[in-house]
Chains A and B, each alone.
Chain A
Amino acid sequence: MRPFTYERATSPAGAASAAARTQGARFIAGGTNLLDLMKLQIETPPHLIDVNGLGLDTIEATEEGGLRIGALVSNTDLAADARVRQDYGLLARALLAGASGQLRNKATTAGNLLQRTRCPYFYDTAQPCNKRQPGSGCAAIGGFTRQLGVIGTSEACLATHPSDMAVALRALDATVETVRPDGTARALPIADFHRLPGDTPHIETALEPGELITAVVLPKPLGGRHIYRKVRDRASYAFALVSVGAIIQSDGSGRVALGGVAHKPWRVEAAEGEMPRGAGAVAGALLAGARPTRENAFKITLVERTLAAVLNEARG
């Protein structure tokens, strides 16, 4: 860990402008991802801005009938919120499928969205990694890729986004609200929030330098059955090999997003039109153009089978 300076921000706009003042500064929320990465010197911020005191830790109803989730609401509190459990079961289930109770107590909504990949080569600073060190190459390509992405990958990076919560937010069409260093606010649809790796895998989101997430907004409830299936080698405390988040209506229509397959939570709205033709058709459309490696080609089959099971469960 490099020595760093630390301050406690007192307002969202103040936090954003403070972040813009020091190049490479980072916000710290729960710290469950950032501190680990700092200890390994994968992240080396010279300055930390603690955003825990900004009062962004409440969940409020919106005029549109949805919910505004403060950026600092913990994963535990979010999953336990009665409104979330009632109307956004997919989100509660995705959260509870992630990490462990202790981690969820610390982990925050914004931090979860911004957690970084679990590619093992990203974690080994002796290995080339375009995401960690732009231009150094990608050790994963030709190496151990079982966990890595199958679609939307690039010649520069195969990594996945590991968040469960983000898969649910993508299916729910959430909006990410931010404030920029100049004090202006904006709202980003979740679909545009995370990026594909392209040849800049180190740029993972649409956030500008210093931009602070203030809230995540859920549109009004969709009804339907909310199912989150996370597939993994051990029964708990593991990242998804593949996950399927689905909201299925009684007429058989619905929405599907995938985790564990791409650099962002993966949803293809057009694929949802295939619902009447069954899981195979939906999965085929979702993963059209996938370029798996020999080691992770099973994820294609796994998505289709898991999706079939989810649709089955929704009907049952």
Chain B
Amino acid sequence: MKFDSPATTNPIDRLKVIGQPLDRIDGPLKTTGTAPYAYERHDIVADPAYGHVIGATIAKGRITGMDLSAAERAPGVLAIVTAQNAGTLTKGNYNTAHLLGGPDIQHYHQAVALVVAESFEQARAAAHLVRIDYKAEPGSFDLHAAKGAATAPEPNDLTGPIDTHVGDFPRALAQAPVRLDETYTTPDHSHAMMEPHATLARWEDDELTVWTSNQMVAWSTGELATTLGIPPEKVRLISPYIGGGFGAKLFLRADVVLAALGARAAGRPVKVALQRPLIANNTTHRPATIQRIRLGAERDGTITAIGHESWSGDLDGGGPETAVGQTRLLYGGANRMTSMRLAVLDLPEGNAMRAPGEAPGLMALEIAMDEMAEKLGMDPVEFRIRNDTQVDPEHPERPFSARPFAQCLRLGAERFGWDRRNARPGQTRDGRWLVGLGMAAGFRNNLLMKSGARVRLDSRGIVTVETDMTDIGTGSYTILAQTAAEMMGVSMEQVRVVLGDSSFPVSAGSGGQWGAASSTAGVYAACVKLREEVARKLSFNSADAEFVDGEVRVGNRTARLQEAAADGDLVAEDSMEYGDITEKMQQSTFAGHFVEVAVDSATGETRIRRMLAICAAGRILNPKSARSQVIGAMTMGAGAALMEELVVDTRRGFFVNHDLAGYEVPVHADIPHQDVIFLDETDPMSTPMKAKGVGELGICGVGAAVANAVYNATGVRVRDYPVTLDKHLDRLPDVA
């Protein structure tokens, strides 16, 4: 089915099941520990061998010698895989460095060997017996030092244009009566998801099956085939349960390749989980940025010049962190410029993490907006609304499909008690605490991806949905079941959803907050077909048939749905694709984030007191799971604001704090009270579901809202994330 004109009324609009705050259907499995994650498929393979990954201990250089003999003789060892004995491996399209390194080393903890043994403990012990000699080479590890040599990267689908110019930015800036020119930095971030990358691999002759934890089943199936040099149809990838990903599991990673190679070498199924201390340096991360923002405005607050430049680094051949993308669309202003520059760094490869580009970009832009509002003597909410736009400011011929941005901010201000904020910072006390309120805009584009599904009706009236869509803890199972239930007029109990198998129709997968809207649209398309099949089977005119309460009705004739499958299952498969509808109109999602913090006047510790997000993201398919997405994202945004930082050792070229003791993410005590309100909205330009994504909208802007609240509390502006106490301690206001 192709979507190229606005959605009209359809069965989803009945909202009997869609739009209801239903519990997640996989919830009981998760809360009882019975959801079978990749590393726990004892039901499939009772006696796998275990692999332990060895990571390179230099950042750049060569392996000059490897002595495997002691490890090979160690108890239980079955095989040791290295680049030398693994055969030819081809690098995939989505990873920058080789997933099995050697002799050349491209980054710290690049996998260089897998030790396979009868037990996990034996594999781990033997791994410590492998002796590797390296010749280290000097590398470039410091973004600040490499910034001067950064160049314009090649544009591609992910980056969009590298530089944009509208009007005469330099002149408008020079002539603006009120100006801002500041530089902000965001550090490298780790996804830090709960479940590590993990894979169980089994060969049957030349056919490979991997049970793994991956957000994008079709991409990674193809990449695995490419990497191993085998036909894609010989690879089956199964990923039904994923313990968090946040972008870390968008791509094929070393666990999958090494499990497959290990299983081949050992001649039996092998499972591999990346050890936690390897994950930060072995896999991908959100790259650090340096961002310069220049704003010029009239005294009434109208922006006349807006400029945003960003520098980031990556391995040779990698890409930039697209931190300026949102600035192209969020605020009006006749004169504009954005640009991205990329430095070559020999650190582990950067890639997508929840709201890639948007999250760090808005962390900078939305502090700049706060600073500018203060210079103008305007309220930060009003300043943003003053510069609202209903069209793409770089391409005014493109309207937004829907843009209730001002509503988000106004409703947020009202619900949060924004009028109680003292515009003068450092003035509000509560005992030993300095109290501050801050806000920021949240803004993330709505991406749509082609997505397919197969639906089956059986003689008991059970509707089964099969798609390679994944559920990374987001609630995909539930919203896909809701979609099928609504379309087929059955209860949730009548629907089965089976996900994450490469033998199923290719879906959008989970990433870029495109999953919910795109994959439900795919199920919608398949259900439209199944409805036609059912109607035909029951000799109804399908256009008039109503599917409700397990029945099919036309006029006063009624049949039970399952009768259509009386002499065999009915199966329909289709996908939803998109015409140029997204090019003609800009589809985005919006939020207003409001935060109250307290800063200890003595120690400078910041503790969040409450958070509110007002979100506009089209139809909310399930308010309960959508809320969970947003509060999780707000938590991650709070982490980025206050504590998360992969610390680079710029001499040795690696992230030093590479475990969950060193890389701090928020704990319960950091997140006291969160509220989420969704605007009642539908966007008929998105899909027949009229829904858009929320999972990344929730993080966009949160970091800046926290940072602005800290400023409001202390009067000390910190422009380098995370906003830790050492950055404002010696400038805190005196408290009598």
What is the CB-to-nearest-CB distance from A92 to chain B, in angstroms, rounded to a whole number? Answer: 18
| Residues A39 and B124 in contact, CB atoms below 8 Å apart | yes
**CB-contacts of B467-506 with A (<8 A):** none
Q: Is B536 an interface residue when CB atoms closer than 8 A count as contact? A: no
B725 partner, pick from A41, A143, A144, A233, beta carbons under 8 A: A233
Out of B602, B657, B669, name the residue touching A236 (CB < 8 Å).
Answer: B669
| B603 in contact with A120 (CB, 8 Å) | no
Nearest to A309 among chain B residues (CB) is: B602
Q: Does A124 count as interface, using CB distance less than 8 angstroms?
A: yes
C-beta contact mask, A73-116 vs B, less than 8 Å → 1, else 0? 00000000000000000000000000000000000000000000
Are A233 and B652 in contact, with the CB atoms below 8 A? Answer: no
Across the interface, which residues of A come within 8 angstroms of B604, CB to CB? Answer: 302, 305
The answer on a CB contact under 8 Å between A234 and B659 is no
Q: Is the CB of A118 within 8 A of B661?
A: yes
Chain B residues whose CB sits within 8 angstroms of the CB of A121 once the complex forms: 656
Question: Is the interface on chain A under 10, 10 to 19, 20 to 34, or 35 or more residues?
Answer: 35 or more
B602 partner residues in chain A, CB cutoff 8 A? 305-306, 308-309
Q: Give complex CA distance A308, B666 in Å.
A: 28
Interface residues of B in 586-609 (CB under 8 A from A): 600-605, 607
Residues of A near B277 (CB, < 8 A) are 40, 123-124
Do A120 and B667 form a contact, CB below 8 Å, given A233-B642, A302-B729, A308-B602?
Answer: no
Q: How far is the CA of A3 from the CA of B126 in the complex (A)?
A: 11
> B657 near A298 (CB under 8 angstroms)?
no
* Interface of chain A residues 254 through 304 with chain B (CB within 8 A): 298, 301-302
Q: Contact at A142–B657, with CB atoms within 8 Å? A: no
Q: Does B726 contact A (CB under 8 A)?
A: yes
Distance of A301 Cα from B666 Cα, bound (Å): 25
Contact A144–B649 (Cβ < 8 Å): yes
Q: How far is the CA of A39 from the CA of B722 in the complex (A)?
A: 31
Q: Is A6 an interface residue (CB 8 A)?
A: no
Whether a CB of chain B sits under 8 angstroms from the CB of A8 is no
Tell me the nearest residue of chain A to B648, going by C-beta.
A144
Do the beta carbons of A306 and B667 come within 8 Å of each other? Answer: no
- Point out which of A235, A236, A298 has the most chain B C-beta atoms below 10 A from its C-beta: A235
CB nearest neighbor in B for A40: B277
Q: Which of A128-151 contact B (CB under 8 A)?
A: 139, 142-144, 146
> By the criterion CB–CB under 8 Å, are A232 and B605 in contact?
yes
Number of interface residues of B (CB under 8 A): 39
> With A127-B652, A233-B725 given, is the CB distance from A302 to B643 under 8 Å?
no
Best-surrounded residue of A2, A39, A120, A123 (most CB of chain B within 10 A): A120
In the complex, how many angstroms separate the beta carbon of B60 from the nearest chain A beta carbon?
14
Quick one: which of A2, A118, A124, A126 has the most chain B CB within 10 A? A124
Contact of A235 among B659, B669, B725 (CB under 8 A): B669
Q: B642 touching A1 by the CB < 8 A rule?
A: no
Q: Which residue of B lies closest to A244 (CB)?
A: B603
A292 to chain B, nearest CB (A): 11
Instruction: Judge whether A222 is part of the interface by a CB distance below 8 angstroms.
Output: no
Q: Is there an interface contact between A123 and B659, defined as CB atoms closer than 8 Å?
A: yes
Interface residue B679 (Cβ < 8 Å from any Cβ of A): no
For A142, list chain B residues within 8 Å (CB). 651
Nearest neighbor of B659 in chain A, beta-carbon distance: A123
Q: Whole-angstrom distance from the CB of A142 to the nearest CB of chain B?
A: 6
Report if B47 contacts A (CB, 8 A): no
Report yes or no: B656 in contact with A120, Cβ–Cβ below 8 A: yes
Q: CA–CA, A144 to B432, complex, Å? A: 31
Q: Within the complex, what minimum Cβ distance (angstroms) separates A24 from chain B?
A: 16
The chain B residue sitting closest to A229, CB to CB, is B603
- 8 A Cβ contacts from B706-730 to A: 722, 724-726, 729-730
A235 touches B603 (CB 8 A): no
| Binary contact track B663-680/A, C-beta < 8 Å → 1, others 0 | 010111110000000000
**A2 CA to B75 CA in the complex, in Å?**
11
A167 to B122, alpha carbons, bound, how many Å? 39
B168 interface contact, C-beta 8 A: no
Which of A2, A124, A144, A233 interacts with B664 by CB under 8 Å?
A233
Given A234-B642, A235-B607, A309-B603 in contact, is the A298-B729 Cβ separation under 8 Å? yes
Among B125, B647, B667, point to the contact of A234 (Cβ < 8 A). B667
Closest to B432 in A: A309
A231 at the interface (CB under 8 A from B): yes
Chain B residues whose C-beta falls within 8 Å of the C-beta of A126 in the assembled complex: 57
**Given the complex, which residues of B lie within 8 Å of A185, measured CB to CB?**
none
Q: What 0/1 readout, one digit per residue, does chain B (620-662) give for beta carbons within 8 Å of chain A?
A: 0000000000000000000000110001010110001111011
A305 vs B732: C-alpha distance in the bound complex, in angstroms? 11
A146 touches B57 (CB 8 A): no
The listed residue (B124, B601, B642, B667) touching A237 by CB distance below 8 A is: B667
Chain B residue with Cβ nearest A128: B652
Q: Is the CB of B725 within 8 A of A302?
A: yes
In the complex, A206 has a CB within 8 A of chain B: no
For the complex, give the distance between the alpha carbons of A246 and B371 in Å: 41
B121 in the interface (beta carbon within 8 A):
yes
Most central of B124, B656, B668 by chain A CB within 10 Å: B656
Query: B128 contacts the other chain (Cβ, under 8 Å)?
Result: yes
* Residue picked from A3, A121, A127, A233, most chain B C-beta under 10 Å: A233
Which chain A residues border B643 with CB–CB below 8 Å?
233-234
Task: Give the Cβ gap from A246 to chain B, nearest Cβ, in Å.
Answer: 13
B657 touches A238 (CB 8 A): no
Chain A residues with Cβ below 8 Å from B726 are 146, 298, 302
Collect the chain A residues with CB atoms within 8 Å of residue B666's CB. Answer: 234
Closest CB in chain B relative to A48 CB, distance in Å: 15
In the complex, what distance in Å separates the CA atom of A1 from the CA atom of B605? 38
Cβ B730 vs Cβ A301 within 8 A: yes
Chain A residues closer than 8 Å to B600, beta-carbon distance: 309
Cα(A1)–Cα(B128), bound, Å: 9
Contact across chains for A306 and B651 when beta carbons are under 8 A apart? no
Return B718 CB to nearest CB of chain A, in Å.
13
* Bound-state Cα–Cα, A233 to B670, Å: 10
Contact with B along A223-253 (1 / 0, CB 8 A): 0000001011111111001000000000000
CA separation between A309 and B599, bound complex, in Å? 14
Verify A236–B652 contact, CB threshold 8 A. Answer: no
A-contacting residues, B118-155, CB 8 Å: 121, 124-125, 128
- Find the A residue at minimum CB distance from B660: A237
Q: Which of A143, A234, A309 is B651 in contact with, Cβ under 8 Å?
A: A143
Cβ contacts under 8 Å, B647 to chain A: 144, 146
Among A2, A235, A298, A302, the residue within 8 A (CB) of B667 is: A235
Task: Give the nearest-CB partner of A237 in chain B.
Answer: B667
Instruction: Please report the C-alpha to C-alpha distance between residue A238 and residue B662 in the assembled complex, in whole angstroms.
Output: 9
**Smallest CB separation, A202 vs chain B (Å):** 19
**How far, in angstroms, from A233 to B599 measured CA to CA in the complex?**
12
Cα distance, A233 to B664, chains bound together (Å): 8
Assembled-state Cα–Cα distance A131/B257 (Å): 36
Other-chain residue from A229, A233, A301 in contact with B729 (beta carbon distance below 8 A) = A301
How many angstroms between the C-alpha atoms of A237 and B669 in the bound complex?
9
B window 272-302: CB within 8 A of A: 277
In the bound complex, CA of A231 to CA of B722 (Å):
16
Q: Are A143 and B128 in contact, with the CB atoms below 8 A?
A: no
Q: Which residue of B lies closest to A231 (CB)?
A: B603
**B contact residues around A127 at 8 Å (CB):** 652
Cβ of B565 to closest chain A Cβ, rounded Å: 51
> How far is the CB of B272 from the nearest CB of chain A, in Å?
17
Q: B664: which A residues are within 8 A, CB to CB?
A: 233-234, 238
- Please give me the 5 A-B residue pairs with the lowest Cβ-Cβ distance, nearest first: A126-B57, A309-B602, A235-B669, A298-B726, A236-B669
Q: A120-B657, A234-B642, A298-B725 are in contact. List 7 more A-B contacts (CB 8 A).
A: A123-B659, A123-B662, A143-B651, A233-B643, A301-B729, A302-B603, A305-B602
A-B contact pairs, 19 of them (CB 8 A): A3-B125, A120-B656, A120-B658, A143-B649, A143-B651, A144-B647, A144-B656, A231-B605, A234-B643, A235-B667, A235-B669, A235-B670, A236-B668, A237-B667, A298-B726, A302-B604, A305-B603, A308-B602, A309-B601
Chain A residues proximal to chain B, CB less than 8 Å: 1-3, 39-41, 118, 120-121, 123-124, 126-127, 139, 142-144, 146, 229, 231-238, 241, 298, 301-302, 305-306, 308-309
